[in-house]
């Protein structure tokens, strides 16, 4: 059973607000990821981290920022939310097997964000 948590699960806010989406995992994984998914559509990687103090932008441009101060924690922040940010945000983590093969990513339950 994967132990990766996201809060809040649902968030409705007004335009211009600053928000932080929380993501935590208890598996000790070095790699963590944020994906954005519109309803019924594919997932797009927006941020990833290979370890503490490591953050990179993903393939889909995003106005959000991330930080990785602790291995288990990978929060995503929007400084000024806009209606175009309305989407589902999914956090994931993964690691390598003892023989160096990439394991699957475990996903959190997601945060459904609505910006009015």
Partner 1 sequence: AQKVTQAQTEISVVEKEDVTLDCVYETRDTTYYLFWYKQPPSGELVFLIRRNSFDEQNEISGRYSWNFQKSTSSFNFTITASQVVDSAVYFCALSDSWGKLQFGAGTQVVVTP
Interacting residues with partner 1 (CB under 8 A)? 31, 33, 35, 40-45, 48, 50, 58-59, 88, 90, 92, 94, 101-110, 112
Q: How many residues does the chain have?
A: 116
Are 91 and 107 in contact by the 8 Å Cβ rule? The answer is yes
Q: How far apart are CA 17 and CA 63, in angstroms?
A: 13
Neighbouring-strand partners of residue 113: 11, 87
For partner 1, the closer CB: 42 or 79: 42
For partner 1, the closer CB: 18 or 38: 38
**Closest approach of partner 1 to the CB of residue 110, in Å:** 5
Neighbouring-strand partners of residue 1: none
Q: Which of 63, 108, 68, 110 is nearest to 89 (CA)?
A: 110
For partner 1, the closer CB: 14 or 100: 100
For partner 1, the closer CB: 10 or 116: 10
Beta-carbon neighbour count of residue 29 at 10 Å?
22
**Closest approach of partner 1 to the CB of residue 114, in Å:** 14
**Closest approach of partner 1 to the CB of residue 30, in Å:** 10
**Closest approach of partner 1 to the CB of residue 37, in Å:** 9
């Amino acid at each position: 059973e994967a132990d990766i948590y996201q809060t809040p699960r649902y968030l409705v806010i007004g335009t211009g607000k600053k928000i932080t989406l929380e993501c935590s995992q208890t598996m000790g994984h070095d790699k963590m990821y944020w994906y954005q998914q519109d309803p019924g559509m594919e997932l797009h990687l927006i941020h990833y981290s290979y370890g503490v103090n490591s953050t990179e932008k993903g393939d889909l441009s995003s106005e959000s920022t991330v930080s990785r101060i602790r291995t288990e924690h990978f929060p995503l922040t929007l400084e000024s939310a806009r209606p175009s940010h309305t989407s589902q945000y999914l956090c994931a983590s993964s690691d390598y097997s003892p023989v160096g093969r990439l394991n699957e990513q475990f996903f959190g339950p997601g945060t459904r964000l609505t910006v009015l």
